[in-house]
Amino acid sequence: MASEGREKPEVGHDQAPAVSTKVDSIIKVLRVLAFLLTLDATLVMALNKQTKTFTVATIGTVPLRATLSAKFQHTPAFVFFVVANANAALHNLLMLAVAFAGSKLSLKGFAPLVVPVLDLVNVAIVSGGASAAVFMGQLGRNGNSHARWNKICDKFESYCNRGGAAMISSLVGVLLMIIICAVSIVRIRNHYAGYNKLPLNSSVLP
């Protein structure tokens, strides 16, 4: 009886590191993808600009032309979008550095909880920025007849297409970060749940 009791903890102890290593690898891959997507969203939106010349009036046979530019700086929602995604990209890059240096760091107490909390904060920020950008993108593409706001994407089509691509990258990045949060929380729950179980010690067996 005592020998059987000693064997079970050893099996669980051997399997735990292997499972933890697989989970860590999955999280690293997801973080790399989230970093690339949020970085792509930041750069595409920040560099998004289109300039076109329009005929605004005609005096006799002479057309009056005006040159207009569409930039992300013209819309506060797009500025917030760039800042939020840049912050998320930096966060994921730092978390990757922490993950690869994790073997050299001794994280104890509540330290392992800091990463999921920061992940959740960044998910909230990026999702807010993406939502605001999508709203403005929909308004620019379709306008709003009730508010008498005209659409602009029929005039700045390339600008709108690049902005839409940046929004898609950001939304996919948010989805990956949500998955990272879920996996991290489940892993930490299982980790701390192990401390609530008394070890099976042969000395206490009859």
Number of domains in the chain: 1
Whether the Cβ atoms of residue 72 and residue 46 lie closer than 8 Å to each other: yes
Position 10 scores a pLDDT of 47
Per-residue model confidence as pLDDT tens digits over 34-87: 999 999 999 999 999 888 776 767 777 777 777 878 888 988 999 999 999 999
3-state secondary structure of 28: helix
> Taking all residues of the chain, what is their mean pLDDT, rounded to a whole number?
80
DSSP 131: H
Domain that holds residue 164: 15-195
pLDDT at 7 exceeding the cut of 60: no
pLDDT of residue 201 exceeding 90, the answer is: no
CA angle 35, 167, 137 (to 5 degrees): 160
Sign of CA dihedral 18, 23, 29, 31: negative
pTM assigned to the model: 0.78
DSSP for 157-170, please give it.
Answer: HHHHHHHHHHHHHH
Residue 203 lies in a domain: no
Q: For the chain, what percent of residues have pLDDT higher than 90?
A: 40
- The runs of H, that is alpha helices, within the chain are 2-46, 76-100, 111-142, 157-193
Is 171's pLDDT higher than 90?
yes
Residue 7 falls inside a structural domain: no
Within a domain: residue 187? yes
